Amino acid sequence: MARERGGNEGSAPSAGQGVARRHYDLFGSVSLLRDPGASESLTTVLVAFGANALVAVAKSVAATVTGSASLVAEAAHSWADTGNEIFLLIAKRRSRRAPDAAHPLGYGREAYVWSLLAATGLFVAGAAVSVTHGIQELIHPEPASHFAVGYVVLGVSFVLEGISFLQSVRQAKPEAESVQRDLIEYVLAAWDPTLRAVFAEDSAALIGLVIAAAGLAAHQVTGSVVPDAAGSILVGVLLAVVAVVLINRNRWFLVGQEAGPLVRKAAIQALMDDPEIARVTYLRLEIVGPRTIFVIGDVDLTGDDTESHVAVRLRALEARISESPAVGGAVLSLSAPDEPTITA
């Protein structure tokens, strides 16, 4: 069956440039397919990396000085986030490599592989360490001291993490508004795993700082290590939940997830606007990378050409569709006369 063929590697003839531009405009009208630019996305990751590195050092010093279990958990959290940003930078770089003979659909899915590793690192280096240290603190309590140092570091950390969080919101909010979706809902559904990871990690970091401050204050007021240890465990549980969510989202994209209704509607409209196509009876849009889809469809061509001419027209259509930056490849076959037409 034609639906099982590989991606199209041909190039469009010059006569098809007008049609190719129309496809680009229609596919690009959907926010999920519109790339905000490499610089904007890279800035989000770099800001997160810088903030997490500074915060990790400060928290480590404060944890050593105060002996607070909550601060130890937060230090582990920030070091895990810092390492994760390196994975995300690798994800962005490797996923942007051009297609080649061995990978005709490109390397877009590498973004989800490296983001999955980053989420796993958050679970192991952040969640597990925090929970383990909190339990150890309950078993072998050690009173904290120099509370002022802890409060200052937590306050500075909140500011730095807030700057990183605002950068991720700055990137995501306009796209969420353009498709009339809630910000959190959009981030969870977004095809860009680096944006989702930074947004989730920074959100968890801000909540974790509040938990750590509460645990430290309760320790100071009561003299008991239990609130501080409980804060460490709560931070670990928070990180575990975030890590599981991120792992699950990347898993869905890796096993092959179809584009949502907005992208599907735009794709059907783009195909129907092509003067070569009379109707569309089948369409599958598989996500093959951040803001990139693979198009598989059955179409009924206009006119009544011979079989050889129809084959040439189909290949030309595939090539024109594949010219869009949002399309990693396209495979089209002819519709059967009795197949129902699908609409946008």
Name the pTM for this structure: 0.77
Domain boundaries, the chain: 2-29+259-334, 36-255
Q: What is the pLDDT of residues 129-158, one digit of tens each?
A: 889 988 998 998 888 888 899 999 999 999
**What per-residue confidence (pLDDT) applies to 28?**
47
**86 is written with which tokens?**
């390196």
**What per-residue confidence (pLDDT) applies to 306?**
77
Please state whether beta strands 327-334 and 292-301 pair in parallel, antiparallel, or not at all (unpaired).
Answer: parallel
Q: What is the pLDDT of residues 280-319, one digit of tens each?
A: 999 999 988 887 889 999 999 988 877 778 889 899 888 8
Q: Considering Cα of 277, then 282, then 285, then 286, what sign does the dihedral take? A: negative
Spatial separation of the C-alpha atoms in residues 22 and 19, rounded to whole Å: 5
- Which one, of 240, 257, 129, lies nearest residue 193 by Cα? 257
Yes or no: say if 7 and 328 are a contact pair by the CB < 8 Å rule: yes
Residues of the chain with pLDDT under 70: 1-40, 344
Q: Considering Cα of 204, then 207, then 213, then 219, what sign does the dihedral take? A: negative
CATH 1.10.10.10 fits 36-255, yes or no: no
**What per-residue confidence (pLDDT) applies to 178?**
72
Pick the CATH number of 2-29+259-334 from 3.30.1490.440, 3.30.70.1350, 3.40.50.300, 3.10.20.90: 3.30.70.1350
